[in-house]
Amino acid sequence: MFRLLPALQKFNLRFFSSRPTIFGLSSGAGKCGVAVIRVSGDASGDVIGQKTRFKGNPTPRKAYLKQIYHSKTAETIDKGLVLWFPGPNSFTGEDSVEFHVHGGPAVINAMYDSLASIDEVRLAEPGEFTKRAFYAGKMDLTEVEGLADLIDAETEAQRKQALLQAGGELSKLYHRIRDRLVKCIAHVEAYIDFHEDQDVGDDVLRTVNKEVEALISDVRLHLDDHRRGERLRAGVRAVVIGAPNVGKSSFVNLISNRKVSIVTDIAGTTRDVIESYHDIGGYPVILADTAGLRVSTNDVIEQEGITKAKDYVHSADFIILLIDSKIVEEYMQTSAENVDQYLTYYLEQLGYCRNLLTDRQSMVILNKTDLISAKTFETLKSMASTELLSCQTQNGLKEVLKEISYHLQQLCGNPTKESPNLSQQRHRFHLKQCVDCLERYLHYMDEGKNVDLAIATQYLRNATRCIGKITGTIETEEILDVIFSSFCIGK
């Protein structure tokens, strides 16, 4: 159980003692085979009696098939399962009951009407079950956020990341950092209080300083993740670019397996940025079709489309460059330069330099391979830096998707129990604040022998509070507990 500051403790006592019993639909909304309606609070036992005529509380965590009655009219609402979860061994930490009924709207509405008619029972507010679980110490804030992400996860990689966070892996990492900070504070305070008449030497401060340096290094390493976790949570922004009429819209439609963009033989059909959402290899992707790029045009609308495309490229995580392989074939037949040199020339025609592809994750696709000779195809196939594709025949699609998945993995990472992803901007902010406090501590300690250790300790306390803001935990007497467990004082 997490310890809270006295003011927050008083708030929690008021929160727990005055709050009513709540109910709500815990399964998905809409017509379904089974709907789970959860009730949580002190009146949960009475609700079972009124809804099922059950005498006394049932055996915990055992399903009972029962007639379920309306609390006010005594009419039968449905026949379903009833499960009893006495506190503290429940999701919210308080007495809870679940009704598993048929998921038709009429049944759910009747259950709602019946439960709302019971005194001291009301409909739960959004997130209120999880909020009560947090206050009961069942989960910290990172686990709460992970649970929300798990519910919202649309791809396999998102599910894995959210499950690690909801399971407490990120919380464990932050608690380990916080425990190290608490120990540092305890050692400095022990030095302040006992170094003159007890066996607490000057080497204690040197040990603390080394540990603070190690903490700074570890937190910075955690922050230096190129925002992989946040990108996985929100989706990778991928943009498809190329000259007019190279098949960008056809490519997006092929990946989408539906007509997202208009495809014609007229160059410059796409004038705006068109986004579509995809699950590629388990990773979430926001794929943007853009206007064909060229250095100049007299068409005002097309120019606006080119400007929007370039703005999107600037903010994109991943660039997919499409080239017409038929034009590459003609270039190879009339020029002594190779394809790699043509790529530089091609980018210049789009208004970019070669750094566009080297500064971030990118891939080059030679499209329309159904229009080139077999000899040219084999020549291009031997190049490791490009992928071959025909949107018309779908030849090469499997290889293209495999390469895209590889880049997405590089962009999103592969979170594990040992190395969970940092997935929230809120976490990043407080971790940076923590590092800043620790650096201030070291800078202050470097000023010489006249430093005030009480001030130095405050820097460490502020760093600890930064971590506490991530998890929702705040220390009180535990620093004193560490002092007496780490030093032989008063023997």
pLDDT digits (tens, 9 = 90+) for 110-126: 999 999 999 889 999 88
Indicate if 382 and 452 belong to the same structural domain.
no
Q: Do the strands 236-242 and 121-123 form a parallel or antiparallel pair, or are they unpaired?
A: unpaired
Indicate if 288 and 176 belong to the same structural domain.
no
**368 located within any domain:** yes
Residue spans of alpha helices (H) in 239-293: 248-256
Q: Which two tokens stand for residue 11?
A: 């708030």
- Cβ–Cβ under 8 Å, residues 117 and 73: no
Phi, psi of 237 (to 5 degrees): -90, 105
Indicate if 475 and 340 belong to the same structural domain.
no
CA 262 to CA 432: how far, in whole Å?
Answer: 46
* Domain stop point among 385, 412, 439: 412
Which domain CATH number covers 54?
3.30.1360.120
Q: What is the DSSP letter of 262?
A: -
How far, in Å, are 202, 476, 483 from residue 194 at the CA level?
11, 20, 11
pLDDT tier at 353 (50, 70, 90 boundaries)? confident
Q: Is the pLDDT of residue 462 over 50?
A: yes
Low-confidence winner among 16-20, 174-178, 257-261, 459-463 (lowest mean pLDDT):
16-20
> pLDDT value at position 269?
57
Q: Which two tokens stand for residue 158?
A: 């998102």
Q: Which of 255, 291, 292, 306 is nearest to 276 (CA)?
A: 255
- Cβ–Cβ under 8 Å, residues 321 and 241: yes
Indicate if 72 and 213 belong to the same structural domain.
no
Q: How many residues does the chain have?
A: 491
**219 located within any domain:** yes
CA 407 to CA 171: how far, in whole Å?
Answer: 28
- Cβ–Cβ under 8 Å, residues 387 and 400: yes
Indicate if 398 and 281 belong to the same structural domain.
yes
Indicate if 320 and 173 belong to the same structural domain.
no
**141 located within any domain:** no
Name the helix (H) or strand (E) containing 18: helix 6-18
Which domain CATH number covers 371?
3.40.50.300
Residue 173 half-sphere exposure toward CB, CA atoms < 13 A: 23
How far, in Å, are 105, 118, 129 from residue 40 at the CA level?
22, 13, 8
Indicate if 190 and 255 belong to the same structural domain.
no
Indicate if 200 and 243 belong to the same structural domain.
no
> pLDDT value at position 449?
67
* Domain stop point among 366, 387, 412: 412
Give the CA angle between residues 97, 103, 104 to the nearest 5°: 130
Low-confidence winner among 351-360, 443-452, 469-478 (lowest mean pLDDT):
469-478
Q: Which two tokens stand for residue 6?
A: 């006295």
**8 located within any domain:** no
The packing angle between helices 425-445 and 453-471, to 10°, is: 170
- Cβ–Cβ under 8 Å, residues 371 and 325: yes
Name residues whose C-beta falls within 8 Å of residue 9's C-beta, 6 or more positions apart in sequence.
none
Q: Which two tokens stand for residue 285?
A: 């992707």
Three-state DSSP class for 445?
helix
> pLDDT value at position 114?
95
How many structural domains does the chain have? 3
Residue 69's domain comprises: 19-133
Give the CA angle between residues 134, 138, 141 to the nearest 5°: 45
**151 located within any domain:** no
Q: Do the strands 361-367 and 386-388 form a parallel or antiparallel pair, or are they unpaired?
A: parallel
- Cβ–Cβ under 8 Å, residues 111 and 25: no
- Give 323-350 as a DSSP string: EEHHHHHHHHHH-SS-HHHHHHHHHHHH
Indicate if 333 and 207 belong to the same structural domain.
no
> pLDDT value at position 489?
40
**147 located within any domain:** no
- Cβ–Cβ under 8 Å, residues 50 and 71: yes
Q: Which two tokens stand for residue 330?
A: 């003609």
> pLDDT value at position 451?
82
> pLDDT value at position 11?
42
Mean pLDDT of all residues in 253-257: 89
Burial of 174 from C-beta contacts in 10 A (0-12 / 13-18 / 19+): buried
CA–chain centroid gap for 271, Å, is 33
Indicate if 250 and 385 belong to the same structural domain.
yes
The reply to whether the predicted model has a pTM over 0.85 is no
Which domain CATH number covers 221?
1.20.120.430
CA 439 to CA 441: how far, in whole Å?
Answer: 5
CA 377 to CA 135: how far, in whole Å?
Answer: 64
Name the helix (H) or strand (E) containing 230: helix 228-234
Q: Which of 97, 57, 63, 62 is nearest to 80 (CA)?
A: 63
Cβ of 281: how many Cβ atoms within 10 Å? 18
**7 located within any domain:** no
Indicate if 344 and 479 belong to the same structural domain.
no
> pLDDT value at position 245?
87
* Domain stop point among 412, 447, 472: 412
**148 located within any domain:** no
Peptide bond into 58 cis (omega under 30): no
Tens of pLDDT, residues 143-187: 988 998 998 899 999 999 999 999 999 999 999 999 999 999 999
Indicate if 196 and 276 belong to the same structural domain.
no
Mean pLDDT of all residues in 215-244: 94
